[in-house]
Chain A
Amino acid sequence: MNRKYKMIIIFSFLFLFSNELELFAKSIDDEININNRTRVISQNIRCLVCQNQSIDESNSELAKDLKILIREKLIAGVSNEEIYGYLRERYGDYILLKPPLNLNTTLLWFLPFIVLIFGSILIFKIIKSNQK
């Protein structure tokens, strides 16, 4: 068989299975995607049995189970927000390392910036009053 025929056969195979190949490539992409998303979520979930660690850093059984759970949910097509919501419902706000914005955490999120704004006004006044 000369080279020409070889190429034709290969290309026809490629053509025949192009759909499968595309799916295969996509599945690898998905796999990487799922891994990355699992990690990002894990970094924001507290390991409840550890001392101040995220489940991403922890090797405890609970952390392992939760990581598997998150992975499975991601494969099933659940969104990040839904997973956070699900974990929060099961374990409470305490499990989220990035505290959600609600009535309880208003002060936490806004106080630094409020202080910064008022501080800026104050500093501006001080500088003005010290001008020649």
Chain B
Amino acid sequence: MIPELGHILMIITFVISTMQCCYWLYNLRYTNIDVVRVLQKGSLINFLFIFLSFLILTYSFITSDFSLLIVSNNSHTLKPLIYKISGVWGNHEGSLLLWVLILSAFTFFVSFKDSINSKLLASIIGVQTVILSLFLAFILFTSNPFERVDELPLDGRGLNPLLQDPGLALHPPMLYIGYVGLSVSFSFAVAALITGEINKDWARQMRPWIAIAWSALTIGIALGSWWAYYELGWGGWWFWDPVENASFMPWLVATALLHCVRILEKKLIFINWTILLSILAFSFSLLGTFIVRSGLLTSVHAFASDPSRGVFILIILGISIGVPLILYTIKSSSFNDEKGNFDIVSKESAILVNNLFLTTATLTVLIGTLYPLFLDAINGNKVSIGPAYYNATFAPIMAPVVFLMAVAPFLNWKKYTDKNFIKKIIFLSAVTFLGGTLLYLIEEKSIFALICGSLSIWLFTGVITDLISKIREAKVKFKNINQFFFFITKINLGIHLAHIGVAIFLAGVTGEQFYKSEYNVRKKVGDIINIGTKSLKFDKIENIEGPNYHSLMATFSLYEKNKFISKLRPEKRFYTNEKSQTTEAAILSDFWGDTYLVLGEGDNKTGWSLRIYSNPLVSWIWAGAFFMAVGGIFSVTQKSSRFRNV
């Protein structure tokens, strides 16, 4: 009875949202505040109903209601509670419901922004609701989470053991907040095309939404990468897997958009480009959502693939990407840019160059992801595209971006006026040269290691230099907390945080990519393994019973120069219900790097095969991403144009 209520709520929401779309389209020419009020009420109801229906699905998972198909396929009575809850979105149907829930939440929040003029706001809610009802239709007609089974099974089939991890509780929701958050800027862009009006306020109202989505996406991607790092057991953190690429492409476009929209806040130039980027960012999100589900590309995320849904997916993609693009080609010529009047060396130029490189980088990832499909369709040839391709194309395209990122914040809007610009560059070069030499002396690796490490130092120095000079310029005395916040908004701390995040990330990449070492050994209990300055003692190996698995757990003691540091306990887990096995690496992280230990096959007579990685600075990769996201959140509070260089 309760699941049916969830189903009915979804049907009602579908009907309401479709009616809302019709109402919006019918009143398109005469939108006023009353129309907005009706749409607001609609989006509130949609949000509440979908939230309820989501709660009902969660309830069914918690109570292990195996009369529901997806519960019996993806859950089990013995599964710990946290995985019963996160199991809600560990499958195709449930994850789509989460997607729709987040979409309705964003629609609800943006719809009550009365500071947006009502003509624009009506269209923003309208566009959001069109997407909402398309997705509801997709769920109701092809992927109903409340479908019942014919015969009640004794117990569920359980969840894929790789997904039974705290990562599942956080990674998909954050990623989806990022994906779906980009729908708001998309709706801003489509609404601008429909109403034919655009002004600086449009850009100002839109930027916080991009920043929130971008930050969530950053965290979501970083969590996924971290999860893969500790769970998959081969020590890598980014595999250029099609699904990773699918989440990375909207991130790259959103990054470009986040920079580009700042120009528009100052002056009405590059209007069309900003609109196009907004449309593309969400289009890539949609592509990302569906690339996982279409079964077109194989990847570790293939849990959701089902080709039979392909046609419906194509229709949704066609409407939500095609229609705006057609609208764009028709209407974009009606927006006329002002004359820019900026110097060649100015913030505007720097942001344009940033956009060029970021979009080219996105294109590279797109080509790398879809080329195998494209080639197969053209002449049936099969080709694989691995990290080597991206190292040769993506990396050299992104290197100039990082190079520019350090110096671009020195520049002013419009005019090249900073007399210290050259001085700062000389200072940066000197520090980078010293740092690079030091890196070379510590341990000589390839030229790429040197470039990557030096770029990190270059950027780090650049951000610090900029921060110091901004603090000097600001001349604020801290008397109370308000002044402190005023100060933060005045110096654009968000930018500094995000950019320093990139520097930290790059330092991590340098360490992990070029300075890591690997040891493959076969050892018996009692043996000692030497890894660099550390040594591992094999203490014991034993069988342990988990809540829904058997585990073979080895215990090692890690010593550094004969001083005991910690115990390491790598495991191999056998999940009996799911009939599969996972390796749980034992990882000891500290500031300077990780010791990563994987237990392989073996027995007590011949010894156990062990893989040990020493990954210097690897956690800086995710720390960097965290800084970027925090920077993004900070930039939401920053009302740039009101304070600086107006």
- Residues in chain A within 8 A of chain B (CB atoms): 43-44, 46, 51-54, 57, 59, 92-99, 104-105, 107-109, 111-113, 115-116, 119-120, 123, 126-132
Find out whether the CB atom of A126 lies under 8 angstroms from the CB atom of B389. no
Residue among A57, A107, A126 facing the most chain B CB atoms (10 A cut-off): A126
Given the known interface contacts A46-B386, A97-B385, A130-B348, the answer about A119 and B234 at a Cβ–Cβ threshold of 8 Å is no
Given contacts A51-B298, A108-B367, A119-B356, contact A97 B241 (CB under 8 A): no
Range for the number of chain B residues in contact with chain A: 35 or more
> B562 at interface (Cβ–Cβ under 8 A)?
no
**Interchain CA distance A52-B269 in the complex, whole Å:** 43
Q: Which of B327-341 contact A (CB under 8 A)?
A: 339-341
Given contacts A97-B387, A127-B349, are A111 and B363 in contact (CB under 8 A)? yes
Q: How far is the CA of A93 from the CA of B392 in the complex (A)?
A: 18
Is the beta-carbon distance between B383 and A104 smaller than 8 angstroms?
A: yes
In the complex with contacts A123-B352, A127-B352, A44-B388 CB distance below 8 A: yes
CB-nearest residue of chain A to B235: A57
13 new A-B contacts, CB < 8 A, other than A44-B388, A93-B382, A116-B360, are A51-B300, A52-B241, A52-B299, A59-B600, A93-B381, A99-B389, A112-B397, A115-B363, A119-B359, A130-B269, A131-B342, A131-B343, A132-B343
Distance in Å: Cβ of B613 to nearest Cβ of chain A: 12
* CB-CB nearest 3 A-B residue pairs: A97-B386, A130-B340, A98-B388
CB-based contact B379/A104 at 8 Å = yes
Closest to B269 in A: A130
Is A57 within 8 A of B382, CB to CB? Answer: no
Q: Which residues of chain B are within 8 angstroms of A132 by Cβ–Cβ distance?
A: 341-343
Q: Return chain A residues, CB-CB under 8 Å to B375.
A: 104-105
B residues within 8 Å of A by Cβ? 234, 236, 239, 241-242, 269, 298-300, 302, 339-344, 348-349, 352-353, 356-357, 359-360, 363-364, 367-368, 371, 375, 379, 381-389, 392-393, 397, 600
With beta carbons under 8 angstroms apart, the residue of A52, A109, A131 that contacts B393 is: A109
> Chain A residues with Cβ under 8 A from B397's Cβ?
112, 116
From B234, B302, B384, B389, give the contact of A57 (CB < 8 A): B234
Inter-chain CA distance A98–B387, complex, in Å, is 7
Q: In the complex the two chains form, is A108's CB within 8 Å of B388's CB?
A: no
Q: How distant is the Cα of A94 from the Cα of B352 in the complex, in angstroms?
A: 38
CB pair A44 B386 closer than 8 Å: yes
Asked if residues A96 and B384 are in contact (CB atoms below 8 Å), the reply is: yes
Cα separation A115 to B386 with both chains bound (whole Å): 21
Cα distance A52–B167 in the bound complex, in angstroms = 21
Residues on A with C-beta less than 8 A from B299 are 51-52
Task: For the complex, give the distance between the alpha carbons of A46 and B387 in Å.
Answer: 11
Contact in complex: A51, B343 (CB < 8 Å): no
CB atoms of B381 and A104 under 8 A apart: yes
B242 touches A108 (CB 8 A): no
Q: How far is the CB of A60 from chain B (nearest CB, A)?
A: 12
Scoring A43, A108, A120, A128 by chain B CB atoms within 10 A of each residue's CB, the highest score goes to A108
Measured CB to CB, the nearest residue on chain B to A58 is B234
In angstroms, Cα B600 to Cα A128, docked, is 61
Complex Cα–Cα for A116 and B393 (A): 11
Partner of B242 from A52, A95, A96 at Cβ < 8 Å: A52
- Bound together, the chains give a CA A94 to CA B159 distance in angstroms of 32
Check if A54 sits within 8 Å of B386, measured CB to CB.
yes
Contacts of B349 on A, CB cut-off 8 Å? 127
Whether B352 and A126, one on each chain, are in contact in the complex, defined by CB atoms closer than 8 angstroms, is yes
Query: Whose C-beta in chain B lies nearest to the C-beta of A95?
Result: B384
Chain B residues within an 8 Å CB radius of A57: 234, 236
A93 touching B383 by the CB < 8 A rule?
yes
> Known contacts being A51-B299, A108-B371, A127-B344, is A98 close to B386, with CB within 8 Å?
yes
Asked if B367 contacts A99 (CB within 8 A), the reply is no
Q: Which residue of B lies closest to A98 (CB)?
A: B388
Residues of A within 8 A of B359 (CB): 119
- Nearest to B393 among chain A residues (CB) is A112
Would A123 and B340 be within 8 Å (CB), given that A52-B242, A104-B383, A109-B393 are in contact?
A: no
**Chain A to chain B contacts (Cβ below 8 Å), 7 pairs:** A51-B298, A104-B381, A107-B371, A120-B356, A123-B352, A129-B340, A132-B341
Do A130 and B383 touch across chains, with their CB atoms under 8 A apart? no
Residues in B with CB closer than 8 Å to A51 are: 298-300, 302
- Nearest CB to that of A111 among chain B residues? B367
User: A94 vs B385: C-alpha distance in the bound complex, in angstroms?
Assistant: 9
Residues in B neighbouring A131, C-beta threshold 8 A: 340-344
- Distance (whole angstroms) from the CB of B347 to the closest CB of chain A: 12
Does A97 contact B367, Cβ atoms closer than 8 Å? no
CA distance A97 to B389 in the complex (A): 8
CB-contact partner of B383 in A105, A119, A129, under 8 A: A105
CA A46 to CA B608, docked complex, whole Å: 27
A27 to B379: give the CA distance in the assembly, Å. 47
* Residues on B with beta carbons closer than 8 Å to the beta carbon of A111: 363, 367
How many angstroms between the C-alpha atoms of A97 and B386 in the bound complex?
4
> In the complex where A52-B241, A98-B388, A104-B375 touch, is A119 in contact with B393 (Cβ < 8 A)?
no
A83 and B388 CA atoms in complex are apart in Å by 17
Q: Are A112 and B388 in contact (CB under 8 A)?
A: no
Task: Report A-chain residues with C-beta under 8 Å of the C-beta of B298.
Answer: 51-52
> Which of chain A's residues have a CB closer than 8 A to the CB of B340?
129-131
A59 to B357, CA, bound (A): 38
- Using CB atoms, name the residue of chain B closest to A51: B298
What separation, in Å, do the CA atoms of A123 and B384 have in the docked complex?
33
A126 to B302, CA, bound (A): 43
Give CA–CA (A113, B84) in the complex, Å: 48
Task: Find the residue from A92, A97, A107, A128 having the highest chain B CB count within 10 A.
Answer: A97
A112-B367, A127-B344 known; A94-B383 Cβ under 8 A: yes
Q: Are A98 and B389 in contact (CB under 8 A)?
A: yes
Query: Which chain A positions have C-beta within 8 A of B393?
Result: 109, 112-113
Alpha-carbon distance A52/B228, docked complex (angstroms): 14
